[in-house]
Structure 1
């Protein structure tokens, strides 16, 4: 068996920085959304994705792909949003197995109310901390990682 390629100091610093920052950012976003809107970060992102879709609706499989989450995890979150009246479900007319999630009028209201605080927190914990040049490098770097992982899943 081949010896693993251990991380050198620079690589370890990058990895540790990524893990710490991503966990701290996620924790802060989760806290802000719970306190201000009663939503989890995932629930907020579901509303965002639905709001950006034509007619405010997406097939559950497409929604899961966009959120990079499992279908079972998405089903649970959509069920919670449905119980709160923020999302509805309807069957797909062209595929009996297909189900659409769609944002409701109440979901639109909650999203409009939650968005300013969420964006302010995103700015506070990430965007405004970095220089414009660092943001470009971050977007390009994480885009490369995401593209590679998505391609590997197919």
Structure 2
């Protein structure tokens, strides 16, 4: 008798579909707000937000790709679009001859400051409004180990590159 295929029980299946639906609805609303407020894609916003949150305003491209779970080539394209509009600048990395560093410009910071309040309003209104403070803490507690588990075996586009020792 062959082994039965793996399956999810009704509770697992319901939780999975709820998570996918919530994520899709939230992302759609966030993307719409970012387009209207700043003509930004979701990935472009993520790039600007990560750069804006950095003390130096800079990150290596590979680190950005790993952080936003986006292909390196796709991220290069998105960074190029942001550079054309003066929101970031790209330059060779000082510590890795093959690497590229991306830095947010003053115009990038200004755009981020303009779109961020609406972004926060959408996230608070859709995700956090129906939850109590204890619910939000419980959600964070539940998602943290799942995130860490997923990050332990990330997709290739999100996996940190191995560096060769140049002895």
Q: Secondary structure at the match of 1:88?
A: strand
Q: Over aligned residue pairs, what C-alpha RMSD do you find?
A: 1.3
Distance (Å, rounded) in 2 between the aligned partners of 1:100 and 1:63: 10
Which residue number corresponds to residue 134 of structure 2?
Answer: 133
Secondary structure, counterpart of 2:100 in structure 1: strand
Higher relative contact order (CA 8 A, sep 6+): 2
Separation in structure 2 between the aligned mates of residue 89 and residue 51 of structure 1, nearest angstrom? 15
* Partner residue in 2 for 1:110: 111
How far 1:94 sits from its partner (Å)? 2.3
The CA distance in 2 between the partners of 1:84 and 1:37, in whole Å, is 12
Distance 2:113 2:142 in 1: 31
Residues paired across the two proteins, number: 154
TM-score normalised to structure 1 length:
0.94
TM-score by length of 2: 0.87
- Residues 70-89 of structure 1: matches in 2 within 5 Å? 70-89=71-90
Unaligned runs of 5+ in 1: none
